[in-house]
Amino acid sequence: MRVFSAWIVLALAAFTAAAPTTHTVKIKETVNVPRGWTKRDEAPRDLTVDLRIALPQSNFPLLEQHLWEVSDPFNERYGAHLSQEEVNELIAPHPESVDLVNSWLAEHGLSGADIARSPASDWVKVRVPVGLAEEMLDAKYHVYEHSTGDTLVRTTSYSLPEHLHAHIELIQPTTLFSRFRASKATLHFDQAAQTSSTNTDAPAISVPSASGGTVDASCNTTITVTCLKELYNAVGYTPLVNSGNQVACTGYLDQFANLDDLQLFFADQVPAAVNSSFKLISINGGQNNQSEPGDEANLDTQFLFGITHPIPATFFTTAGSPPFIPDVLTPTDSNEPYLDWLDFILNTPNPPQTISTSYADDEQTVPPSFAQRVCQGFATLGAKGVSLTFSSGDGGVGDGDPDPATQECFTNDGRNKTEFVPEFPPSCPFVTAVGGTIHVPETAVDFSGGGFSNFFSRPSYQAAAVPGFLSTLVPGTYAGLFNPNGRGIPDVAAQADNFRIFFGGSPILIGGTSAASPTFAGFVSLLNDARIRAGKSPLGFLNPLIYSIGANAGLTGAFNDVTTGNNPGCGTPGFNATTGWDPVTGFGTPNFGVLKDIVLALP
């Protein structure tokens, strides 16, 4: 009896000692492995991962309210963007969340110098070995290999103490299998590209909305900066170099912008820009290796900075790219460069006013919690006065694969249901998604990504435009293949094929909505130049203005409505371009001259 009693006393003592750090654990997030990924070996326990912990932004609804007010051209606060300090105050987590997360980290031996925080403390980053991550998250990490050979270290499920669920929105890398690829549909060396970029023999093409009413005939087969300025009515407009306006594009996945190629491009198409360049900003050790020119990076920098010269330009190069090889030569799983860029730009007090990105992935490969939080980051940038453009994708209504023969249009939720596949981040309602056109006069290019988000509901600015398009569909069209209540994609469009760039010292033709995003962003930057010169604020988040213009019959001509073409995918013809907004070309392509008059008339 005494022995039994002594055992009870010892057991109770042990339980009491463990009680302060014993919590009820509950699953936080579970995903199915996206199609194309195969589980391989268990992840090495000593491999280090950067766990990023998102704390709830306590006043984000108020920040979102500010965003709508400063972006609505009919609101008296239009253009009154928030400062970095005001933004940080609104997105700061509740002190209770900070304290509880700190306590949880301390229970696992992490404190002080082990922890990195964003200025608003809404993100916490800790570098830990996989073994500790598995203990903290009650998870099991494995190496997953994609059919392309890319590899990631991920888990399909993780858990947290139940009392932390309201204080942690998400933790990554865990369930994010996104591959974040460039939107390139075509890349080919072409005999026409080896000759001069202009052809004066054929008669000019009549385009009433263009500068002077005509576009050079060569633009029907080869797109240059001159073609775009003619087509979009910007010939003769020269921006200032010192107005405070800035423009930028992003580079990932070892896509490097070659300086010699840039000079060849300038000599060929923008002689006034010869000997000028861009500012290089390295994030997380990003490089710009001049011996490895990137076709995507060359396209983005050459056309965006060619259109906007002499506006000060920036190329963000962010390190981290697949494949990950789990051995001693690769001690850290660094497959999430996009988070590094977003963290950097969110905490930059005066970022460029216009930023173009030509990378995306299938929305369904991104956990909804991650997509929502990233989208909130874009809203934060908009509230600060930044215009963000994203390529809408190159798979039509299908996944990001521009080859219809290899597209896979099935859900990743275990049902394997056939559905159209929107792209993220273009599906975020706080960015401007740019689709593609081709030829002169313009028609929708067949790879132009478009459709409707399965994550984000229709934003208020689309309340008239999207139902207007849906009402034109024959009842039952593509029933069950898309979400008719989702955010519609794209918002606008621009030329997207046969772009003449220089790559490795030679001219080539390249295409994809990767070309459309920097093109549209270039003209947005010119509009910002006009406003800033007039003593006004930059445009910031564009979509409320775009849709207000689209809904106003008196502003006809601000966008060149593209009414022909379609975006096939998933074994279907996709949607048709039509009068007004459509999920192929949005409201169409920009008419800079008309848009300039509109934005200069705004407060």
pLDDT in the model for residue 17: 38
Residues 264 and 271: their CA atoms lie apart, in Å, by 10
pLDDT in the model for residue 321: 53
395 annotated as belonging to a binding site for a ligand: no
Query: Going from the N-terminus, what domains does the chain have, and what CATH number goes with each?
Result: 24-58+93-177 (no CATH), 182-190+214-601 (3.40.50.200)
pLDDT in the model for residue 180: 78
Residues of the chain with pLDDT under 70: 1-21, 185-200, 320-336
401 annotated as belonging to a binding site for a ligand: no
pLDDT in the model for residue 338: 78
562 annotated as belonging to a binding site for a ligand: yes
Residues 369 and 367: their CA atoms lie apart, in Å, by 5
Residues 280 and 258: their CA atoms lie apart, in Å, by 12
Nearest to 456 by CA among 379, 511, 538, 528: 379
582 annotated as belonging to a binding site for a ligand: yes
Active site residues per annotation: 296, 300, 514
pLDDT in the model for residue 12: 39
The one-character DSSP state at 417 is -
Structure tokens at 5: 């009693």
Structure tokens at 171: 């933790």
* pTM greater than the 0.85 cutoff: yes
Which phi and psi angles does 18 have, rounded to 5°? Answer: -85, -15
What Rg do the C-alpha atoms of the chain give, in angstroms? 25
Torsion of the alpha carbons at 150, 156, 162 and 166, rounded to the nearest 10: 50
